[in-house]
Amino acid sequence: MTDHGEHDGFHPVTSDDEAWIETVWFPFWIPERGLTVYPRVVFQPNSGQYRGSVAVWSGADELLYEAPLAGQFSQWAELGDLRDLSLPGGLRFECLRPGERYRVRYEQPECAFDIDFSALGPPAYPDPGDSPGMFAGHLDQHGRVTGSVQLAGESLSVDCWTVRDRSWGPRVVRNDLRLGNAHATGAEQAFFAYLQQDEAGRERVRGGTHWVGGEERTLVAGERTTTWQDGWPASLRIEATDSRGDRLCAEGRCLNRRAVVANPELYAVLNLVSWEVDGARLWGENHDVWSRTAWVSAGRAPLEGGH
């Protein structure tokens, strides 16, 4: 596998814009329980802060555990090396093999985990235009997570397909923002689709990747169709074409949901999804992303919280 370790550390800060961020995200799940675990951190070097949380949820916004992560620093060197970084609050990231394998640990009395992410293939680097204003540099990487979680005194085994995600650069949230993404991973096939509504309200595929037998292809066109239930996504269908001219048809069933304040101006609805692609069961997510202004303008009540 090509070495992609240049993106394992903190990136040089290219402007003094306080919107400049660096994110680290290693989501994983226990599918048979419909349970999602999110360790996610956002670093803001120009304001000298980081924020995030470790959260566990299932069902319809049933939050089983959440602990905020927050702190201050004056420069990257004060935090240390992202390739082996321990944060106050019990979260630790380690790069075990550059661009390929990572260990994430968390230790608190009510929740603890020790998981290993092993990449299925090299990262994909989507174009910033796939999610306008959301990143200058970004990677998505499909892989497998193994390990264990201790939650409220119960020990749970983890063995799932997932993605890891990194972004860096200014993040500017337009008032009319409405976009999303959907991803799924299995041993032989995976996809990550970026979506944006057109003027007619159709959820168009505007970029992403389709992995087939270890070969990376680009998603060049397509559409996500969402079936709603009581105002929330219930099932999904993605039909798309990749750069080889092959069709991707994925049917998804939402197993849980959570609506979060990603930052004061950005809301996201998150679903764990059981996908069926070419008769195979894949696991992943569906994300429906809104600016706060667009969310409220659609008649939805403002969300509380944020990290």
Closest C-alpha to 260, from 196, 195, 194, 304: 304
Question: Where do the domains of the chain lie?
Answer: 19-297
Q: How far apart are the first and last CA of the chain?
A: 35
Q: Which two tokens stand for residue 286?
A: 């569906």
Residue 5, pLDDT score: 85
Residue 110, pLDDT score: 97
Dihedral over Cα of 214, 217, 221, 226: its sign? positive
d(CA 114, CA 285): 22
Is residue 234 within 8 A of residue 224, CB to CB? The reply is no
Paired residues of 232 in beta bridges: 229
Instruction: Write out the chain's pLDDT in tens, 307 residues.
Output: 445 689 999 999 999 999 999 999 999 999 999 999 999 999 999 999 999 999 999 999 999 999 999 999 998 999 999 999 999 999 999 999 999 999 999 999 999 999 999 999 999 999 999 998 899 999 999 999 999 999 999 999 999 999 999 999 999 999 999 999 999 999 999 999 999 998 888 999 999 999 998 899 999 999 999 999 999 999 999 999 999 999 999 999 999 999 999 888 999 999 999 999 999 999 999 999 999 999 999 999 999 865 4
Paired residues of 115 in beta bridges: 104, 147
- Structural element, H or E, at residue 139: strand 137-151
Paired residues of 144 in beta bridges: 118, 161
The pTM assigned to this predicted structure is 0.95
d(CA 204, CA 225): 9
Residue 285, pLDDT score: 98
d(CA 110, CA 158): 17
- Going by their DSSP bridges, the two strands 215-229 and 232-242 should be labelled as antiparallel
Is residue 261 within 8 A of residue 278, CB to CB? The reply is no
- Residue the block writes with tokens 């370790």: 5
Any idea what the Cα angle at residue 211 is, between residues 208 and 166, rounded to 5°? Answer: 50
> Rounded to a whole number, what is the largest CA-CA distance in the chain?
51
78-83 CB contacts, 8 Å cutoff, 24+ apart: 79/10, 79/43, 79/50, 81/9, 81/10, 82/8, 82/9, 82/10, 82/24, 83/8, 83/9
Residue 1, pLDDT score: 42
Residue 263, pLDDT score: 84
Residue 3, pLDDT score: 57
